Structure 1
Amino acid sequence: MSLTRLHIDTFRNIVSAQLVLGEGVNLIYGQNGSGKTSLLEAIYFLGMGRSFRSHLSQRVIQYNEEQLTLFAELNNGHQQKDKIGLRRLRNGDIQVKMNGEKVKRLSTLADSLPIQVITPESFSLLFEGPKSRRQFIDWGAFHTDPHFYQAWVNVRRILKQRNQLLKSEASYSGIQVWDKELVKYAQLVTQIRTQYIDSLNEQLKGIIEEFLPRIDVKVSFTRGWDSKTEYAQLLESQYQRDLSIGYTISGPHKADLRLRVGTMPVQDALSRGQLKLLVCALRIAQGKLLKQQINKSSIYLVDDLPSELDAQHRKLLLQQLHDTGAQVFVTAIEPAAIVDSLGTPVSKMFQVEHGCVTQIE
Structure 2
Amino acid sequence: MVHFAAPDPPLQGLTGAYKLRWKRRQLLWRALRARSQLRNMADRTAQIPNDPILCFATVRNEMGRLPFYLEHYRRAGVSHFFFVDNASTDGTAAYLATQPDVSLWHTEASYRESRFGVDWLTWLQIRYGHGVWSLTADADEILTYPHSDSRSLRDLTRWLDQQGAASFGAMMLDMYPKGPLGTQVAVPGANPFETLSWFDAEGYTWEYLGKFEQVSIRGGPRKRVFFQENPDYAPHLHKVPLVRWNRRYAYVSSTHTVLPRKLNAVFDARLNRPTGVLLHSKFLDGVVSKSAEEKQRRQHFTHSERYDTYYDALIANPDLWCAGSVRYEGWRQLERLGLMSRGGWQ
Provide the TM-score with structure 2 as the length reference: 0.27
Question: Which structure's relative contact order is higher, taking Cα pairs within 8 Å and 6+ residues apart?
Answer: 1
Larger Rg belongs to: 1
